[in-house]
Amino acid sequence: MKIYGGEDRKRILSRAFDAREEELKRVREILADVRARGDAAVFDCEKRFDGTELTAGSFRVSEAEFAAAYAEVPPALLDSLRRAIRNIYDYHKRTGRRDNLVTENGRTTGYVVRPVDAAGIYVPGGTAPLSSSVCMGILPAKAAGVKRIVVTTPAKYGKIAPLTLVAAKECGADEVYKAGGAQAIAALAYGTESLKKVDVIAGPGNIYVTLAKKEVYGQVGIDMLAGPSEILILADGSADADCVAADVLSQAEHDALARAIVITDDHALAEGISARVEVRLAALPRKEIAAKALADNGGIIVVRDLREGVEIANEIAPEHLELAVKDPEALLPLVRNAGAVFLGHDTPEPVGDYFAGPDHVLPTGGSAKFFQVLNEDVFTRKMSVVGYTRGALREDAADIVALARSEELEAHARAVLARMK
């Protein structure tokens, strides 16, 4: 893993979501096709891209397919999944939004929170089956009170990974469909003969999924534009080089576009991390993917001090930020931009990926500056509430009428005056 300093580190510091023209053109073609032909277009795409032959009868996952999936999942693994689901669901229930109404002097103002009617959860299934993303997508929607939760995920040559299906059932998905890529996003956004449209689409995906979400925004709500996975580790001399190296590879193995950066104020630690990454990489099952990610998008940056490191981290706005330092709580107030922050030497990023409770669907590519972690807010809407007594309206009438007439909206003024007789 290369160590950077000075000007040569700029190459790995900036990466924003890039809407490449060729992919965007293809996505728009797929969206238009699904909107025009519905099921038939989705089925054509699934045959072409995933090798799956679908019909109206096999598009939605059946109870028999769920039962078969349960039979393939070892009981101990199912127990681990259920414990993770409990942690994640309890967390989202704890942090849920509440109504806020205040009545003073005859005036009731505030808002009430209502869930959307239907949510679509996209679950990737390309380079690795991601049952954890099932939990992280469904459970905040469930905690928000969404009544209809729909999951779409690719079926490679007709089969969805068993644990993915089991996770969907355990989390309470109402419908699961065999579809991936832009065609799945189109089906969720526009609806087809077999899949009724949803109100919000959430979940990570590849460049085609992300571009499709961007294109359908406005027809439906979306959570964020999420790109390839990222980790930034801020480490001081108290960090263990081997543990940091392990954490680097935990993200680099996702795909060749993943980004893994270490920032440290300790040059000896930087050299140790670099060496341990090479050793661990050689023994990694997905070493070809991780090696390319590190070569193209990884590196170690040596800085003057931790404060400079935090400022660089804020500029990058990483998906995952590990504070592998002696006193992480002291640095946390300085962190402004990150999808998720992991405190201390014993909180590796996979704790958040699978088990702790907070969501792992996070903004990437610098979008943590304006997007937030997937949570129940994505699946709810605030509706403002106003209530006046006749006495309160009489007190405020002159001001309201004056403002309405200043905008030459006389009917507005008269709606108030009609009650003053």
Catalytic center residues: 319-320
What distance in Å separates the CA atoms of residue 165 and residue 129, rounded to the nearest whole number?
10
DSSP, collapsed to helix, strand or coil, labels residue 386 as: strand
How many CB atoms are located within 10 Å of the residue 253 CB? 22
* Helix (H) or strand (E) run with residue 351 in it: helix 349-354
CA angle, residues 140, 355, 167, in degrees to nearest 5:
60
What distance in Å separates the CA atoms of residue 150 and residue 66, rounded to the nearest whole number?
15
Using an 8 Å Cβ cutoff, are 230 and 387 in contact? no
User: Can you tell me which residue has the tokens 């992919």?
Assistant: 23
What distance in Å separates the CA atoms of residue 394 and residue 43, rounded to the nearest whole number?
62
Task: Give the residues across from 231 on adjacent strands.
Answer: 260, 320
* Helix (H) or strand (E) run with residue 124 in it: none
How crowded is the C-beta side of 24, counted as CA atoms within 13 Å? 7
Helices (H), 14-100: 21-37, 39-50, 63-72, 75-94
DSSP, collapsed to helix, strand or coil, labels residue 118 as: strand
DSSP, collapsed to helix, strand or coil, labels residue 320 as: strand
Structure tokens at 347: 């909180």
Quick one: which of 131, 201, 216 has its CA closest to 168? 131
Give the pairing type, strands 200-202 and 118-122: parallel
DSSP, collapsed to helix, strand or coil, labels residue 108 as: strand
Residue 271: partners with Cβ closer than 8 Å, 6 or more residues away: 3
How many CB atoms are located within 10 Å of the residue 329 CB? 10
